[in-house]
Every structure is written in structure tokens, then in C-alpha cells.
Structure 1
Amino acid sequence: MTARYLLLTGRTNSRLLETPTTLAGLPLVWSGENLLLAAGAGDLTTDPDAEIAVVGKLFSRIDNRPLEQFDGAARKEIFRSKGQWLLDHCWGAYVAVIAESGRRAVSVIRDPSGMLACYHCAIGDGCVAVTNEPELLSGAGLVSCRVDWAALARHLRSGDFRGTHTCLEGLEELLPGCRLTLGAQREMEPVWSPWAHVGPDQRLQRESAAALLSRTVGNCVTAWARSYDQILMGISGGLDSSIVLAALKSAHVKPSLYTLATVGPGGDERGYARLAAKHCGYDVEEQFFDISAVDPRRSHAAHLPRPTGNYFIQAIEAAVKGTLARMHRDSQRAIFSGGGGDNIFCYAHSASPVADRWLREGFAAGLFATARDIHRVTGASLPAIVTKALGKRWGRDKGYRWKGDDLFIATAVEAEPLSFNHPWLDAPDDALPGKALHIALLLRFHNHLERHRRPDFPPTIMPLLSQPIAELCLSIPSWRWYEGGVNRSVARQAFADRLPEALIRRTSKGRPDSFILEIFERHRALLREMLHDGLLHRHGIIDMEAIDTVLISANPHHRHQLRVLELGNAEAWARKWSA
């Protein structure tokens, strides 16, 4: 099962800190002077004096093996650095709790990958709760979570951006790579920044970027794989999932594989999935997206503090659930994915890499080579690419400007200003626009990452998000990812000797568009009823007249279909938290 935890901390004499044996059904693992920590069995690292606890997976940077205990020297450095030592000497998917004797403040640190969630809220009587599952708060009788309608409206307009605010009243998120200090006040500060890693990696002076990436991905995938007895992995034959699969093979691990296909050819990647599986010596179970698994009245994100994703996720979860049922239950299981690879490997259609090379190397031959590479990747004309690069080269602001999405949002709500505040978007004065884009890509995926968390499923592991891989990829110049006129070029070079040429050369991507259309067509009437009579309409968030034009259209635009399905999912989510 996914790691679960609930931390309570506050003033020493609070009635909420009276020592129980369990908390929200979880066993108590740490009872301190001003805190209680309950966590599920398994993923927990503590020190002998119970002043440090790490929930989740923690690996050493020295040998990539699990850290199960801290020695005296490590403890001293962890306290001295207020947890910074963990980010400098370890990696994984974890939330660390640090409470040194004699200090009233408690520190909570979330690792940069974002694979283990962390939310916090005041619960009264001078106490604060921290958890990865908001439902644990209500389960423990600590707080009744209610929808924050203004926050929900901002979320629906924010185009995959996620900051500290959730869509539940009073509940905030501790962002990846940040520290939360719980004392007289709740204070969040970044302790890891992607901007600290955009400079040249000294290792690249001794080793090629491809060779170093191959080794780093291999080390991380191996560490993750050795942490579990059974691995289930969905593959598409795309580059990212194939890279993880090749690394699993090199680690001598045999996963159970499945692939999902649409009836229409646009989302049928079974041929590529078979090729990847056969090359690595594995079998793959082939399934089709099942429309009967999708119920628009239910949100797959019902347990989450934001309505992320779309209805087709329900079909993926149904397929995973069926496959898990055929696996041994009495073992440590995990679901592996190549998710986040596009983001880690800087896959985007932008002229920013041209601007980066111009700023770094000047008006030289390499600049024109990169312009031609971007032309081959994007199909944009060379004059258009150069014009865009000029704007980025001479623009005052080299940072990334996040764009909102007001499609089908009510006019009154649309008029409200949006702000996109996140420490990763605070670009330094000498920032390169391509690096700002790369960092924004990493941040964007965190909104997709959350939808993979289900308390009744094994943990979903996305090895490509591991901190050592992210830091290395950030250090590689943006234009290197497009060399030869292909996207994710360094990653392709890194695994060219371990994957079939057809997969290495593949640049197309399958999409479940036909299945999404099927969902939309089958449930038009129900979606109209839900949205017309729903909470989003009642609270003045959506433009129902505009939505109606899509629902009655004989041939609606695909983006409009996606948006209506997204709003339907948000309606189902809101009804769950308002029940």
C-alpha cells in the first residue's frame, strides 16, 4: 500500500496530543513532547533517539541503497542544517519530520520529486496536522474538510499550475523541495531549488551527457526496483516507459507488464509495446480501454484536495485493479511508470533553446544548428524560430510566464486576477529562458502526479522523477535535448544500445483521443444534467451557456470536449467533498 502518515504537533499541553495507541487507524510510531506521528507499516526510517522520522523511501547518494537508520554524525548534521543534509546526501520519495530535543519547533521536509504528498492545516487548540491523505483528518475527527469555492475556481483556471493552496478550506500543500517549520507560526521556505542545478555539472567534463544519464537512470531504477517484490508497469512503447523498462532489465528485475489501447488507431500502441517487451525478454498483457469502467458521477480524484485529471483515468485504474488482483497480495508491490519523462527530458515545442545557445555562445555556427534542430522538431519555419528566439534573447524577463485557461469559466470569475507564485518560478537575473521552460515543465507534471495516488493501490513509482536524474538533466544545456532534430535527444543516445532502433527513432505519440470522444458521446446528457444542476453552476464558476453549445454540437472541438469532461470531473469531486 501507499505510505500513509498523520502528524500532529502543537503546544505541549494540548488535549489533541494525549497519547493514543492509534491515530486515524494508523499505529502510533512516535510520541514526543509536542508531537504525535502515526504511520503505516513499512516505509519508515528513524534514528535511535526518535528525534528524526522519515516516511517513505530514502536512499543514500553514496551507494543508492536504502537508509534505515542515521548514525551519530548524520544526526548531528541533520539537526545543524535543519534537514538540508537529507537533500544533499540522500534522495527518494519521502517526508521527513525533525524535532530536536529542547527545541519547540518541528521541521517537516518534502523531497523534490513530489512522489509523496504533504498537506497541512490548523486543527484547533494550537495544533497543526500534516498528512498525505486529507481523508485521514476527517477520519481522526480532527477537521471537517469543505470545498473552498474561490480556490476551486482558481484551480480550474490555472492550467496545471499548483501552488500552496488546495481546493479545500484551510488545507495547504508543502511544496516539493520545501521545509515547513511548525512553531509559533507555520512558515514554508525552499531548501532545494532547480536553479541551483542549471549550471554545468563537473562530471560532464569527464563523461558524456548520454553516458552519465544512462548510468544515473540505471542506478535510480535499480534502487527503486530492489525495494519491492513485485512490480506492475504500464508500457506504451514510447521512449520514456521503454527507458525504464530497459533499466529494469539491466537490474535483472522481471516486472508484470500491461498496455492499454483504444479501438481507434490513434491510441493503439500495442505494436510498439510488444516490441519493447520482446526486446527485454518480457510478456505484456494487452487490454482495451473499457467504457463501462467510466462513471461521470464519480471522480477518480475524490480522495484528493484538488480535482485533477480526466475521466479516462477511471479506465486505467480499472485495468490496473484487475491486473493487481492476479498478482500475489502477500508481497511488497509497486506500480512503475515512465511518467514525467517528457518533462525531465525537456520535451517542448519552443525557440527557447535557440535563445539559450545565443546567450551562452554568441552569434556562432552552433546557433544555426540549434535553429535547424528546432525546425525539424516543431515544424515551425526558420524565420519564425529566429524571431521568437530574438524576443527571448533580448527580453527583460528570462523567466517563465504561466498561462491560465478561462475556457468555459463564468465572466465574473474570469475577471478575477490570477497569480502564479512558486519558488521554482523565481528566476535569477541571469536565467536562461530554456532553463526556465525546463523547470516549468517539471512543475507542470506535479499536477498530473497527484492523480496517481490512491490509498487502496500500491505506491506508484516514477523513477525518472528521482532527484539525481532531475539534477543531472537540469545541468544539460537545453539545446542538447534537440540535437539531430529529435526531441529528448540525450535520452535517446543514452539508451540507444539497450532498445530497438525503431523505439529510439520513434517521435510520434499515441493519444487516447478516440476513447475520450467515446466518453463524451456516451455521457453527453448526463454531463449536461450534472453541470446544469451542479455546484459549479450554483457557485457561479462556469459559463453554462457556452458549455451547452458544446454539448449540443454535432462535431465539437477536441479541446472543448476535454474541458467539459474536466469540469464534469470537478463537479463530481465537489459533490463528494460537499456531501
Structure 2
Amino acid sequence: MSAIFGIVRFDGDSVAQRDIERMGTILAHRGPDRRQAAVEGSAAMGHCLMRVNQEDWLEAQPVRDGVLMLVADARIDNRETLAAELGLTDAELRDMSDSAVLLAAYRHWGEDFAAHLLGDFAFAIWDARARTLLLGRDHMGQRGLYYHHGDGFLAFASEVKALWAVAGVPRRLSDAGIGRRILGPIDLPPGETIYDSICALDGGTTMRFAADGTLSRRVYWEPHASPAHLGHDEAYYLDAYRAVVTEAVACRVRRLGQAPALCFSGGFDSGSIAAIAGPIVAGTGRRIVAVASVLGEGERRTVRDARAAVEAFRPFPFLDLRHYVRGDEGMFTDIEAAFFATDDSAGNPHVRHGMYRIAASTGARLVLDGHGGDYTVNITGGALLGRILRRGKLRRFVREFRMRARATGWPWLAILRHEVIPALLPVQGFNAARRAAATWRDRPINPAFADTLRGGGAIDFGRLRYSRVRHHRWRDASLHHLRKVTRSQPLHATLAAADGLELSRPFHDKRVVELGLAIPESLDFRNGLERYLARQAFADILPEQLLKRPPGNDAEQPDMFRMVKHGAPAALAEARRLDQGGRLSRYLDLDRVERMIADADERKRPDHATLYVAARMTTLARFIGWFDSSNE
């Protein structure tokens, strides 16, 4: 994963060479193959290159033509289509990097060009004649881009830490951002980060900054059902499912310089990626490095372990299966190094870090995962069986109910309680009761801080996450979640970059999203099981064991409970030590966090979620303490 960075001054001053070079130095881990910056008076841009695809060997950014200057972190999947529309010959395209294609597209379509692109990308274009800067991010935000709009200048970068190399960029936490980490509101405002005056560009968005200080934000794409996929029969959706998912995977692996890696669980999403990409990679004489997070041999926990599902793929010759088994490391291990690497309060994503390290050790530069399948084309939202009854389809409900019981072996009363009744409950009524009950009091937040947030209107206290009833159901829930994803910051991609990898998610491909939202709900659940289309469309390439698999997902962190239970008390004790002058307890009720940790019982499933919240609050407290100390 490459990096881009830059500074544009609108106050007439020139950009100092040392400032832009300092940004590049901070992002050097994302540019093992080349690092270059260019200064043109009041504008400076830089690029750190990591070669992943064949076209990357043609890159020589920043790209300049005397008027325009462009930098991009990009993989463009529709190069041939763009070339035809731009009037480029095959020979011309063969010698063009992705950044050169982007510049040609910008010249042709102007600021609307992003709507014509397919792929993962973030870009910046400086127009010296118009004195405007255009920033853009791909549809689902797989590549990150942050910026600070200061007094007379704008700075942007692929990671937050590079912005602090520029004089005038504040290094402060945002109270509203901290409040959102504690309360977990349903809605995310555009661009907000945990840092004051530092914004993240949303996915599917371009931002134009002009010399007079004005900015204009344009959403060029939002998650939606493609009209081309609406209103068809089952045969169409089976064909479309296979074609679209196959192309989303294939375009990520067909032009690679090295064999890719895959964060692998043996489930339908990562399993489909493996089965599709495997033969393509095998055609180059390589194998996919499939890294699975599993428990140690013979260990058992109350959550599902992926080992058996992963082993079902052992006969596939194009997979190099590797296991990550947690040792002594955990989310609190080297926590301050993790804060610096990710610019985030999540602590040490130790499982992903361990998987990425294994992948990188094989020479891979691209890592894929199956994240996103559950809310695009493989909907697994709760109470899908009850939805059939809610729609009044009684005969189908009875048939599917019986098949559900046979497929899962679950008692009828359990199916009614967990998969039927929740679909019949009045969501609006429960949401009103939730608002009246002040559910924010369930969060370990300092009440005085909560009052400040509520009084300032920074967070809607009537729209906080609540475990009993969803705020939306089924397709509405998926659409809402997809919109949130476009506003999310790429934590896992930033972590992958720290380990020398580029992360891409095929199920976040816009084509997959637009198909998923068009699939009729009758195809979400069939024969007593979810993922009907995946089971049918890929029946010839997936293991029989997976095709017959009962519902549920295997945990990527199967040892999470015991790891947190063991490590959280010491991490919280260190947070208390850092709480000098109440700088942490002004936000968090640390006593309550301590009780949540102490009272959690591994045998009680709700306690797993409670302990996870306590762990996140502990890492947030440590992050605030670390950040404040690093500013001193």
C-alpha cells in the first residue's frame, strides 16, 4: 500500500522543501520501492511507492504536465474501459501507470472523473492555473486520506501522523470523537476523527479546495441497488452472483507481482475468495498464502474455532495454509507502539498483526480478507426466518421452520425465541423506550462528560447502539451499515501497511455492493439456511463440508475472552497511574470499567460483549494517557 501526502498554501507563501520531505520520511514504511516529492511554489506533493501490481513498475509520481500535478495510491480495475472512452490505444495503455490513466481521465471528465473509476484509490490533484486542490477517495473507502484545513494552507496524507510534520497542524484530541468511542452512536458524521481539526475524507467523496479558502464536498457514489440487477428471476441472480463476485476477486489478483495472502477462516466469504483466486494465482506458478487464526491443537472455548473449517480446504493444491495461534501477546501488548502505528485508540489488533506478519514473511505484498460479505451479498442478519412470517408467507414459513430445525438440530422453542419472535417485535416502539430509558447510562462514561456532550448537541443520545433490538432490519440495516463503512477510517489497512502489506476487500467492491442491495430477500434464506446464493453459485468450487455448514461464523479471535480477562486488569491499573489530575477519569468511569472486567463470566455469552466493551474502554484510556504524554 503506497502513500500520498502534500501541502498547498493559499496565502501566497511557498512550501518549504524540508516540510514535504519530513512528511515523506514519516510515511517511508509505505514506500519501500521509491519515495519522491515535488515542490512547485505554493504547492508540494509526494508519493511513497510500494509495487504490488504490474503497472506499479511504471509509476513515477508526482505526475506533472506543467499545469496539473497528481499523486495517487491506486489500483484501477477498469483500465481498458477507461482507455476506450479516452481514445487510448492498447499500445499507449500498456505503457501507462494507473496514475497516468487517472490524469488522462481528469483531463477528459474534469472533477467528475472519479465516478468513472473502478478500484481502490485515493488521489490529490493540484491545478496551478485554477489554484484548486481536488482530493478523492474510492467508493467504499478502502484507501485512506486525511486532511487539515488550516489558516492559509491545507495538508493531506494517507496517515494522520504525517500531518503533524507540518507546522500549524494541531495535535489535540476531540472531545466529541472520544465521546463517540465511549457511547457508540448509530450514526457517524462525515469526516470526523478522534483528533481535533483533522478530518478523514469519506469514501465515494471528492473535496475541492479553492484559493479563496472555500471548499466544496461532492458525494459521487453512495451504496445503492444497481437498477440493472433489479426485478430478475433466481437464475439471473445465481449467474450474477457468480460473475460479479468472481470479477471482484479476479481483478485484485490477476496483475500481481508476487503471490497474495489471505486472512482465512474457511467460511463462505474468505472461502469463495480462495476458491476463485487460487486457480488464477496457480496459473503463475504460485500459491495463495492463507493465514487462519485458530486455537491451539485440542483447545476448546465457548466461541467457535475456525480450525475444522480451514482444514476442509487442505486438499486444495493452490492454498498454502498457515495457522496463527496466539502466544503471550494480546491487545495490550506493546500498546503504545500500536497507537503510533495505527493512529487509533483500538489497542494492539494482535490477531491481525500476527496474521499480517506471517503473510509478509512469505514475500506477499497484497493481503485479502472476506470482510463485508455478511452485509452485501451474503446477508446473515438476525431473524431471517421470522421475516418470512412477518411478510405473511405462512406456508413458506412452516416449511422453512422445519428445515431450519433439521439443518441446525436446534429445539423448536429456541428457534422461535431467537429467530422468529425478534422479527415480530415493534422496532419503533422499542426505539422510543430506549430513548426514554437513557441507555447511555449503561456505558462507562463520566456522567459530567456525558452532560457536556448532550448539552453541546455533539451526539444524539436517542440513537445509541442497543443490544435488544436493531434500529433497522434486514436490507435497511445493511444499507445503513454500508453507509457507515464509507465514513469509516481504514484501521486494518493502516495496520497492514505497517507490516508492509496492501489490504483489499473484494466484498467492498462497488459492484458487489450494488448487486447485494438488489438481491430479493427471498434469496437470503432458503432450505433452512442463510447464504443460499453462495451455496448454489459456488457449489462446484467449495468443499462439501462448507456447503452443508450450519449457521454462524467462526471467531477471528477465538481466545479473546481469556486474553482480555488476563491482560485487562494490569492495563487498567496503568491507566489509573496515568490519570494525573483526572485527565482520563474526566471521560471514563474507571471504577465501572474495573467492575465490568471483574464480573465477566466466560460461560455467559452476554458477558463476552461486556468484557469486549471494557477492553475497548481500557485501551481508550491508555490511548488518551499516551497521547497526552507524547504532547508534553
Q: Tell me which of 119, 128, 138 is aligned to 2:146.
A: 119
Structure 2 residue 134 is matched with structure 1 residue 107: yes
What CA deviation, in whole Å up to 9, does each residue of 1:407-440 have, x standing for no partner?
Answer: 222223334336479xxxxxxxxxx964321122
SS where residue 122 of structure 1 aligns?
A: strand
SS in 2 for 1:9: strand
Alignment of 1:124-523 (within 5 A): 124=151, 126-141=152-167, 143-158=169-184, 162-163=188-189, 164-183=191-210, 184-195=213-224, 197=225, 199=227, 201=229, 204=232, 208-228=236-256, 229-253=258-282, 254-263=287-296, 264-265=299-300, 266-279=303-316, 281-292=318-329, 294-296=331-333, 298=335, 300-308=338-346, 311=348, 313-325=349-361, 327-328=362-363, 333-345=365-377, 347-350=379-382, 379-380=415-416, 384=421, 387-388=424-425, 406-415=442-451, 416-417=453-454, 419=459, 434-445=474-485, 447=488, 449-454=490-495, 455-457=497-499, 458-506=501-549, 507-511=551-555, 515-523=559-567
Name the stretch that deviates more: 528-537 or 484-493: 528-537
SS in 1 for 2:122: strand
- Where does residue 436 of structure 2 map in the other structure? none
In structure 2, the residue matched to 1:59 is 77
1:328-365 deviation digits (Å, cap 9, x = unpaired): 4xxx711221122222235343468987998xxx8667
Task: State the distance in 1 between where 2:214 and 2:519 align.
Answer: 39
Q: Secondary structure at the match of 1:40?
A: strand
Specify the SS of the correspondent of 1:143: coil
Q: For each residue in 1:29-76, what CA deviation from the matched residue of structure 2 results, as whole angstroms up to 9, or x when unmatched?
A: 555565322111255685756455432212217569984533998444
2:29 corresponds to: none
Shift of 1:291: 2.3
C-alpha contact (below 8 Å) 1:110/1:175 kept by paired residues: yes
Conserved 8 A contact 1:110-1:176? yes
Instruction: Please list the CA deviations of residues 460-489 of structure 1 after superposition, one character each: whole Å capped at 9, or x if unmatched.
Output: 121221122122212223442223332232
Q: Assess if the C-alpha contact under 8 Å between 1:356 and 1:433 holds in 2.
A: no
Deviations 1:497-555 (A, max 9, x none): 11012112322322266522222232243133123234586351112222232344373
Alpha-carbon separation, structure 1, partners of 2:578 and 2:402: 48
CA gap 1:194/1:177 in 2 versus in 1, 3 angstroms: same
Identify the match of residue 100 of structure 2 among 62, 65, 69: 69
The residue identity in structure 1 corresponding to 2:173 is V
CA distance in 1, matches of 2:372, 2:379: 10
Letter in 2 for 1:314: H
Give CA-to-partner distance per residue, 1:139-194, whole Å, 9 cap, x none. 35553522223421222212575432111111011111111111222333311111
Q: 1:559 maps to what in 2?
A: 609
Match of 1:511, SS state, is coil
* Structure 2 equivalent of residue 399 of structure 1: none
Amino acid at match of 2:366: A
Distance 1:140 1:153, change over 3 A: same
Closer/same/farther in 2, CA of residues 275 and 353 from structure 1, 3 Å limit? closer
Partners of 1:211 and 1:456 lie apart in 2 by: 39
Amino acid at match of 2:517: L
- Structure 1 distance, partners of 2:441, 2:221, is 29
Counterpart position of 1:425: none
3-state secondary structure, aligned to 1:276: coil
1:137 CA drift (Å): 1.7
- Give ranges in structure 1 of 5+ residues lacking alignment: 397-402, 422-431
Q: Within 1, Cα distance between the matches of 2:8 and 2:388?
A: 46
**Structure 1 75/444 Cα, relative in aligned 2: closer, same or farther at 3 Å?**
closer
Give the alignment partner of residue 121 of structure 2, picking from 94, 100, 112.
94
Q: 1:63 to 1:251 in 2, by over 3 A?
A: farther
Structure 2 distance, partners of 1:277, 1:408, is 45
Classify 1:538/1:155 alpha carbon distance in 2 versus 1 (closer, same or farther; 3 Å): closer
Residues in 1 aligned to 2:387 and 2:234: alpha-carbon distance in whole angstroms: 27
Q: Is the 1:220–1:463 Cα contact (8 Å) retained in structure 2?
A: yes
Q: What is the alpha-carbon distance in structure 1 between the residues aligned to residue 231 and residue 251 of structure 2? A: 21
Change (3 A) 1:109 1:341: same
- The answer to whether the 8 Å contact 1:20/1:28 transfers is no
- Contact 2:161/2:343 (8 A) holds in 1: no
Identical residues among aligned pairs (%): 13
Q: Secondary structure at the match of 1:7?
A: strand
Partner of 1:529: 573
Quick check: 1:106–1:181 contact (8 Å CA) kept in 2? yes
For 1:409, give the aligned amino acid.
I
1:548–1:292 Cα change, 3 Å: closer
Q: How big is the shift at 1:110?
A: 0.8
Tell me if structure 2 keeps the 8 A contact 1:234–1:336: yes
Give me the CA root mean square deviation: 3.9
Q: CA deviation at 1:20?
A: 7.6
- Offset of residue 386 of structure 1: 5.8
CA distance in 2, matches of 1:103, 1:146: 33
The two structures have a TM-score, normalised by structure 2, of: 0.75
Higher deviation after alignment, 282-291 or 510-519: 510-519
- CA distance in structure 2 between the partners assigned to 1:412 and 1:375 by the alignment: 49
CA 461–213 in structure 1, closer or farther in 2 if over 3 Å, else same: same
Q: Is the CA contact 1:340–1:445 (under 8 Å) kept in the aligned structure 2? A: no
Question: Structure 2 stretches of 5 or more lacking a match?
Answer: 26-34, 83-92, 409-413, 433-438, 462-471
| Counterpart mapping for 1:540-579 below 5 A | 540-553=586-599, 555=601, 557-578=607-628, 579=630
Equivalent-residue separation in structure 1 for 2:201 and 2:281 (angstroms): 36
Q: Which amino acid aligns with 1:249?
A: G
- In 2, the alpha carbon distance for the partners of 1:20 and 1:542 equals 37
Residue 201 (structure 1) shift = 1.8
TM-score (norm. length: structure 1): 0.81
Give the 3-state SS of the residue equivalent to 1:560 in structure 2: helix
Contact 1:198 1:435 in 2 (8 A): no
Counting matched residue pairs gives 545
